[in-house]
Amino acid sequence: MNGHELSDAFQRILPEQPSAGGWAGRARRRSQHRRRMVGAAAVAVVVAFAIPMGLHLGAGPQVMTTPAPTATPQPEREGMPTPCQEAADKNFEGTDPVDGKLPEGATKLWLCGEAYPRLPYGGQLAFIGPQEALTVGVDEAVSAFNDLTWQEGAAIDCASSGEVYHLLVEYPDQKTQTLEGNFAPDGCQHFRMSSGIVEGADGYVATLQDLWEAQRESTDPVQLDVTMCPGYTSLFSMDPADLGHGHGCVLQRKTTAGGAGATMRSDDLPADLLTLVRDKVSSGGEPLSRFGAFSSDEQIVLLSPHNDPVTLSWGTWGRAAGLMWNNPERRVWYPDAAQAQRLDDYFAQLRRNPDAEPEPTLGPEDTGGLTPKVCADIRDGTLAPDQLPAGDRLPVGAERVWLCGDLNARFGGQLGLREPLVVDPDRVVDAINQLEPMPAREGDGCTEVGGVTYHLAIDYPDGRRRVISAETVNCRWVGGWGGRVGGDALLEAIAPMWTEQRATHLSSDLGEPRLCDGYPRSDTGEPRYPHTFLPVDRAEATSGALCGLPSDSTDFDGDVVQRWLPPALVTAIAEATPTPGAPEDMRLTAGLPSIVLLNAFGDPLVLAVGEGGVVYLGEEGGAWMPSGPLADEWQEALSGLRTTPFYVAPPECGGYDPATLTGDLSRVVGGLTCLGQFAVPAKGPDLEPAFATELARRFAAESTKATLNGWNTANFLVLTDADGKSTRLYWNGRNPAHLVDEMSERSWPIPGDVQRELERYGFDFTPE
Amino acid sequence: MTERRIEAAAGFDEFVSDRGGALWWAAWLLTGDAHHAEDLVQTALTKMYGRYASCENDRHFEAQVRTTIYRTFVSWWRRKAWRSEVPTEVHPDAIGVVDDDPALREDLLRALATLPRMQRAVLVLRYFEDRPAQEVAQMLGIPVGTVTSHASRGLKAMRLSTHLSDTEVDS
């Protein structure tokens, strides 16, 4: 596929554009919410978000400065009434009322907080309405709203931002009107709509509270089936005397693969603490600036009989440790030493939950390296793969599944995953059993080389083990010839199971495995280092080692030295961006060191080191050189290792400098060949002048502009014109063979007569 | 102050209505999924909303939004569990299809999904948006040579992709 074909393919597959209705409004609201969060709590937000948090448990880390609504209810909304959750899932989208006025006849009204996924420390940032809908006095609520002032076409610019809440107004015809209100202070409370605003909403929520309280005089409280942890704070202004029960809540942070996660733990509040805290809230505490941190990992959630909450956060607010709450405004109580100790002890006890199970860790059977024993046994033939005829099914009830790489390094690597799948491993069994049988191919054979092969070792509780091999290319067989087909799809389906498992299961300690030896060397004897056929993100590297030959080595036969890199260097390499001026294209690296990075689960990523210690940053491109103190550490790590390549191209075939390649093909008088392998050219025979001249003429006349998709840098011609200037024509590295000129971006399919002549000079057009 | 805000708000709304779909196409090719694409566009619009009023015109603003889409995709998406997903088939009843070539669509999206994010971004910018290498380099904040390298490697990977090996891609 070339660029033109890809362009065409892109155009052909485009679906219809979706309607962008609602996008502008949503972006506006999210932008304003984001500005409120950033502007009002800059310091605390920076601190709180320094560690990526897996707030959606199992969903991986997120950068919470840009909250993203999702399409399904989230566990963090526990305690939020279901209609509010469902509306929040849709980001409270709805149609604005005509002329800013609600129709009469509403039968029910819900008061809800905000839409976005709740932060783990709720508190005053996360507001909530009552647990029950307003069904008595709804017409009064509608009238009170319609008495407010509608300003069509207006926008508002409040001096300070406020909290957002929502109203869901339900009608007999199942339709619901959704409104977005804003608690902006300083007389700026309003309702925002796409076509204008409703002003003067100061006191509207207080009006609603009066209506709810009137209703509650004749209704029983709604029971809460869940413990509100992390806590919310009611949109109503609460009387502390009503807050009759409560619980403590702590956020337990943990780090798993892919980022950090959290669990919330709660317990009833002891009577003495309940009394103490209620008294202090009743006394009013001290005012606290509305700017600053929102909450903490340790909370006390007080609840009214109707489960309206006020959440108090235990932390350092201003001058000392205190309990902070935000109802109706931000206040703090600073305990004395004994009271503070009481609170510390309570939360410490809450964190020490004796029923907590130890963090699950996964690790391979002991091998002293990155390869589980079962995978090593498969690799060295101790364990042979099973034949799984299409008519046979693997039994369910698996205990764990290992995913092993193949020894053949040419097509993707040697390693699979270090830990087994223990979370619902029967999913792998089912996936295999559901594959289609391999079609009968009489007289048609598939070679077993050309792509990634992998092996699944399935362990059962009774000690049985089944080893099923699969390939991702060619016939894509699974379970041997005559078995099933779909090895590529199978790998795509099961690899994410390990990713999911890693969100909740930690890896065992990697130790310091051997990384630099024990892996098959290249055809030229060059050391090769562990690879895995699954993608590894450089940014997730947690450790790494340098693998290199001693500086006095003259060939590849010596032992490779392994040096573990200091953590600061590992971090720097993981986070590195290309250094301006560093060579962008990988130069010859034969004989030079490599870096093997490992993530928390022992997945390796190999980076090449170039001359002088430049680090090539892999698939993402670019090269990096450490600076400052890191440069010294890096040079120390490299000391005693070879940092110049074994192979140096001869002057005629090396020293690539585009500025010198300014030859005129119409005036070529001679040339030479550069021939080699693995990007290492050696000078070959000189070209007969007449042949060089004719070849240049035909190239200029018959070549066409093309998108060049790479070329073989060890096999090319250097044509020299009458002024001594050069042009390089590279073999494109594959067949049908082309000669390409990088500078002019032209390509020429080599005619048969020319190709035969070039072969006479020593060209071998067999792809590497 | 109030009047200026109204103009900016209305202009932004109109821009999103006119150009949101085109932005979504690029996001869809990057992410391979309709919902993820919408989320990516929304993220970029959210980030850029405050700058609308200060842009000279919609074309200028769109250039900034597009840059944000690509940079967000390259840097943010790596942290998402979505990178472990493969694109789902686009069902005709979910999104209307203009040119019904579902086999090519699925194969091409699957092939794209195997590429590193930066390579994918470069291919979409070069061969869908037809932008020159220099412009791609500016948008992604990488050297021009790196753009060329990514384009070359990306095309090679697409050419060798098993997802496209049986698919005819005619010029």
CATH of residue B55: 1.10.1740
Q: Is residue A33 part of a domain?
A: yes
CA separation for the pair A51, A313 (Å, rounded): 20
- Written as six digits, the tokens of A699 are 């190239």
Query: Which residues does residue A259 pair with via DSSP β-bridges, in sequence order?
Result: A256
The residue that leads in pLDDT, A264 or B154, is: B154
Do residues B68 and B115 share a domain?
Answer: no
A537·B78 Cβ contact <8 A: yes
Do residues A136 and A258 share a domain?
Answer: no
Q: Is residue A725 part of a domain?
A: yes
CA torsion, ordered A234, A239, A240, A242, to nearest 10 deg: -90
Q: Taking CB atoms and an 8 Å cutoff, what residues of chain A touch B156?
A: 709-710
Q: Is residue B132 part of a domain?
A: yes
Residue A696 has pLDDT above 90, yes or no: yes
Do residues A118 and A175 share a domain?
Answer: yes
Q: Is residue A714 part of a domain?
A: yes
CA dist list (Å): A678 to A496, A531, A582, A609: 35, 19, 23, 17
Counting Cβ atoms within 10 Å, is residue A633 exposed (0-12), middle (13-18) or buried (19+)?
middle
Interface subset of B 86-125, CB within 8 angstroms of A: 86, 90, 95-99, 101, 104-105, 108-109, 116, 118-119, 123-124
The residue that leads in pLDDT, A197 or B16, is: B16
The residue that leads in pLDDT, B69 or B82, is: B69
Q: Taking CB atoms and an 8 Å cutoff, what residues of chain B touch A488?
A: 162
User: Is A656 an 8 Å CB contact of chain B?
Assistant: no
Q: Which of A627-631, A650-654, A752-756, B115-119 has the lowest mean pLDDT?
A: A650-654
The residue that leads in pLDDT, B51 or A275, is: A275
Q: Is residue B92 part of a domain?
A: no
Do residues B67 and B109 share a domain?
Answer: no
Contact A506, A261 (CB under 8 A): no
Give the residue from A159, A208, A167, A209 showing the smallest Cα distance to A184. Answer: A159
CA separation for the pair A748, A705 (Å, rounded): 9
Mutation target among A10, A497, A712 for the B interface, most CBs of B within 10 A? A10
Q: What does the pLDDT average to over A409-424?
A: 76
Do residues A347 and A369 share a domain?
Answer: no
Q: What does the pLDDT average to over A702-722?
A: 84
pLDDT at B76 (0 to 100): 52
* Interacting residues of A699 by C-beta distance below 8 A, sequence separation 6+: A665, A729, A739, A741, A746, A748
Which residue type sits at B13?
D
Q: Is residue B93 part of a domain?
A: no
The residue that leads in pLDDT, A414 or B25, is: B25
Do residues A462 and A587 share a domain?
Answer: no
Give the residue from A7, A621, A8, A728 showing the smallest Cα distance to B148. Answer: A621
Residue A695 has pLDDT above 80, yes or no: yes
Residue A525 has pLDDT above 90, yes or no: no
Q: Is residue A734 part of a domain?
A: yes
Nearest CA distance, A578 vs chain B (angstrom)? 8
B5·A30 Cβ contact <8 A: no
* Interacting residues of A50 by C-beta distance below 8 A, sequence separation 6+: none
Q: What does the pLDDT average to over A571-598?
A: 77
Residue A55 has pLDDT above 60, yes or no: no
Q: Tell me the pLDDT band of A51, cut-offs 50, 70 and 90.
A: very low
Q: Which of A73-82, A94-103, B75-84 has the lowest mean pLDDT?
A: B75-84
A61·B79 Cβ contact <8 A: yes
CA separation for the pair A459, A420 (Å, rounded): 10
Q: What does the pLDDT average to over A29-46?
A: 43
Contact A616, A607 (CB under 8 A): yes
CA dist list (Å): A694 to A666, A689, A691, A717, A723: 9, 9, 5, 13, 18
Q: Is residue B68 part of a domain?
A: yes
B155·A194 Cβ contact <8 A: no
Residue A206 has pLDDT above 80, yes or no: yes
Residue A256 has pLDDT above 50, yes or no: no
Do residues A669 and A626 share a domain?
Answer: no
Mutation target among B40, B65, B79, B109 for the A interface, most CBs of A within 10 A? B79
Q: Taking CB atoms and an 8 Å cutoff, what residues of chain B touch A499?
A: 81, 84
Q: Is residue A740 part of a domain?
A: yes
Q: Is residue A98 part of a domain?
A: yes
Residue A441 has pLDDT above 70, yes or no: no
User: Is B143 an 8 Å CB contact of chain A?
Assistant: yes
Nearest Cβ partner of B126 from A3, A8, A154? A3
User: Is A270 an 8 Å CB contact of chain B?
Assistant: no
Q: Which of A486-490, B2-6, B27-31 has the lowest mean pLDDT?
A: B2-6
Do residues A394 and A482 share a domain?
Answer: yes
Other Cβ atoms less than 10 A from the Cβ of A748: the count is 22
Other Cβ atoms less than 10 A from the Cβ of B44: the count is 23
Residue A558 has pLDDT above 50, yes or no: yes
Q: Taking CB atoms and an 8 Å cutoff, what residues of chain B touch A11?
A: 128
pLDDT at A651 (0 to 100): 74
Q: Which of A309-323, A494-508, A622-636, A709-723 has the lowest mean pLDDT?
A: A494-508
Other Cβ atoms less than 10 A from the Cβ of A466: the count is 19
**Any idea how long chain B is?**
171
Residue of B nearest to A496 (CA): B84
CA separation for the pair A447, A453 (Å, rounded): 12
User: Is A645 an 8 Å CB contact of chain B?
Assistant: no
Query: Which residues does residue A686 pair with via DSSP β-bridges, in sequence order?
Result: A672
Do residues B128 and B77 share a domain?
Answer: no
Mutation target among B5, B140, B162, B170 for the A interface, most CBs of A within 10 A? B162
Alpha-helical runs (H) found in A171-270: 204-216
Alpha-helical runs (H) found in A438-536: 487-502
A153·B99 Cβ contact <8 A: no
Q: What does the pLDDT average to over A349-373?
A: 61
Residue carrying structure tokens 């299409």: A390
Do residues B59 and B132 share a domain?
Answer: no
Interface subset of A 146-165, CB within 8 angstroms of B: 153-157
Residue of A nearest to B48 (CA): A31
Residue carrying structure tokens 């223990």: A422
Contact A112, A80 (CB under 8 A): yes
Q: Terminus-to-terminus CA distance in chain A, angstroms?
A: 19
Do residues B51 and B107 share a domain?
Answer: no
Q: What does the pLDDT average to over A755-760?
A: 94
Do residues A174 and A93 share a domain?
Answer: yes
Nearest Cβ partner of A23 from B16, B96, B119? B16
Q: What does the pLDDT average to over A225-254?
A: 82
- Written as six digits, the tokens of A343 are 């609170």
Residue A44 has pLDDT above 60, yes or no: no
CA separation for the pair A12, A28 (Å, rounded): 33
Residue carrying structure tokens 């399409």: A71
Secondary structure (H, E, C), A296-342: CCEEEEEECCCCCEEEEEEEEECCEEEEEEECCCEEEECCCHHHHHH
pLDDT at A196 (0 to 100): 79
In chain A, % of residues over pLDDT 70 = 77
Domain count, chain A: 5
User: Is A338 an 8 Å CB contact of chain B?
Assistant: no
Q: Taking CB atoms and an 8 Å cutoff, what residues of chain A touch B68?
A: none
Mutation target among A616, A620, A704, A735 for the B interface, most CBs of B within 10 A? A620
Counting Cβ atoms within 10 Å, is residue A428 exposed (0-12), middle (13-18) or buried (19+)?
buried
Nearest Cβ partner of B162 from A1, A52, A451? A451
Q: Which of A554-558, A636-640, A685-689, A751-755 has the lowest mean pLDDT?
A: A554-558
Residue A292 has pLDDT above 70, yes or no: no
pLDDT at A124 (0 to 100): 37
> Quick one: CA dihedral A262, A267, A273, A277, positive or negative?
positive
Residue B120: domain span: 98-171
- The residue among A351, A370, A394 that closes a domain is A351
- Written as six digits, the tokens of A72 are 């399904």
Q: Which of A53-67, A145-159, A642-656, A723-737 has the lowest mean pLDDT?
A: A53-67
Do residues A384 and A460 share a domain?
Answer: yes
Q: Is residue B138 part of a domain?
A: yes
CA torsion, ordered A239, A207, A113, A166, to nearest 10 deg: 180
Q: Tell me the pLDDT band of A86, cut-offs 50, 70 and 90.
A: confident
A26·B13 Cβ contact <8 A: no
Do residues A206 and A262 share a domain?
Answer: no
- The residue among B53, B85, B117 that closes a domain is B85
Bond into A461 cis (ω within 30): no
Residue A573 has pLDDT above 80, yes or no: yes
Do residues B162 and B128 share a domain?
Answer: yes
Do residues A603 and A702 share a domain?
Answer: no
Report the mean per-residue pLDDT for chain B.
75
User: Is B64 an 8 Å CB contact of chain A?
Assistant: no
Nearest Cβ partner of A472 from B81, B150, B162? B162
Which residue type sits at A192?
R
A24·B13 Cβ contact <8 A: yes
> Quick one: CA dihedral A589, A617, B122, A12, positive or negative?
positive
User: Is A538 an 8 Å CB contact of chain B?
Assistant: no
Do residues B80 and B103 share a domain?
Answer: no
Q: What does the pLDDT average to over A569-595?
A: 77
> Which 3 state secondary structure label does DSSP give A764?
coil
- Report the largest interatomic distance among the alpha carbons of chain B, rounded to a whole angstrom: 60
Give the residue from A293, A345, A279, A303 showing the smallest Cα distance to A324. Answer: A293
Residue B146 has pLDDT above 70, yes or no: yes
CATH number at residue B155: 1.10.10.10
Residue A364 has pLDDT above 80, yes or no: no
The residue that leads in pLDDT, A321 or A716, is: A716
Residue A269: domain span: 233-351
- ipTM beyond 0.90? no
Alpha-helical runs (H) found in A157-255: 204-216
Contact A192, A235 (CB under 8 A): no
Residue carrying structure tokens 């472990």: B84
Do residues B6 and B78 share a domain?
Answer: yes
- The residue among B25, B56, B85 that closes a domain is B85
A31·B128 Cβ contact <8 A: no
The residue that leads in pLDDT, A414 or A360, is: A414
pLDDT at A568 (0 to 100): 83
> Which 3 state secondary structure label does DSSP give B78?
helix
Give the residue from A589, A591, A648 showing the smallest Cα distance to A616. Answer: A589
Tens digit of each residue's pLDDT (9 = 90 or more) over B103-145: 888 889 888 888 877 888 999 999 999 888 888 888 887 777 7
Q: Taking CB atoms and an 8 Å cutoff, what residues of chain B touch A28?
A: 9, 12, 49
Do residues B2 and B81 share a domain?
Answer: yes
User: Is B16 an 8 Å CB contact of chain A?
Assistant: yes
Q: Is residue B121 part of a domain?
A: yes
Do residues B63 and B105 share a domain?
Answer: no
CA separation for the pair A613, A583 (Å, rounded): 11
Do residues A723 and A752 share a domain?
Answer: yes
**Any idea how long chain A is?**
768
Give the residue from A197, A166, A201, A200 showing the smallest Cα distance to A180. Answer: A166
pLDDT at A50 (0 to 100): 26
Do residues B56 and B117 share a domain?
Answer: no
Residue of A nearest to B52 (CA): A28
Contact A142, A171 (CB under 8 A): no
Do residues B66 and B110 share a domain?
Answer: no
pLDDT at A541 (0 to 100): 86
Contact A516, A545 (CB under 8 A): yes
Nearest Cβ partner of A1 from B42, B47, B164? B164
pLDDT at B79 (0 to 100): 39
Q: Is residue B53 part of a domain?
A: yes
Report the mean per-residue pLDDT for chain A.
79
pLDDT at A583 (0 to 100): 65
Q: What does the pLDDT average to over A284-296?
A: 69
User: Is B54 an 8 Å CB contact of chain A?
Assistant: no
Q: Is residue A525 part of a domain?
A: no
pLDDT at A412 (0 to 100): 53
User: Is A34 an 8 Å CB contact of chain B?
Assistant: yes
Residue A520 has pLDDT above 90, yes or no: no
Half-sphere exposure of A22 (CA within 13 A, CB side): 11
- Written as six digits, the tokens of B107 are 């194969």
Q: Is residue A512 part of a domain?
A: no
| β-pair type (A604-608, A594-599) | antiparallel
Strongest mean pLDDT among A133-147, A155-169, A305-319, B91-105: A133-147
CA separation for the pair A197, A181 (Å, rounded): 10
| β-pair type (A484-485, A477-478) | antiparallel
Do residues A293 and A323 share a domain?
Answer: yes
Half-sphere exposure of B143 (CA within 13 A, CB side): 17
Interface subset of A 191-220, CB within 8 angstroms of B: 194
Following DSSP, what letter does each residue of A176-197 receive, concatenated? EEEEEEE--TTT--EEEETTEE
Q: Where are the beta strands (DSSP E) in A343-473?
A: 361-362, 400-404, 436-437, 453-459, 465-471
CA separation for the pair A79, A112 (Å, rounded): 12
> Quick one: CA dihedral A614, A617, A619, A620, positive or negative?
negative
Give the residue from A247, A288, A320 showing the smallest Cα distance to A78. Answer: A247
- The residue among A638, A670, A695 that closes a domain is A638
User: Is A3 an 8 Å CB contact of chain B?
Assistant: yes
Contact A547, A594 (CB under 8 A): yes
A16·B130 Cβ contact <8 A: no
B142·A20 Cβ contact <8 A: no
Q: Which of A119-123, A229-233, B133-137 has the lowest mean pLDDT?
A: A119-123
Domain count, chain B: 2
Tens digit of each residue's pLDDT (9 = 90 or more) over A452-501: 689 999 999 888 899 999 988 777 889 887 789 899 899 989 998 988 88
Q: Is residue B47 part of a domain?
A: yes
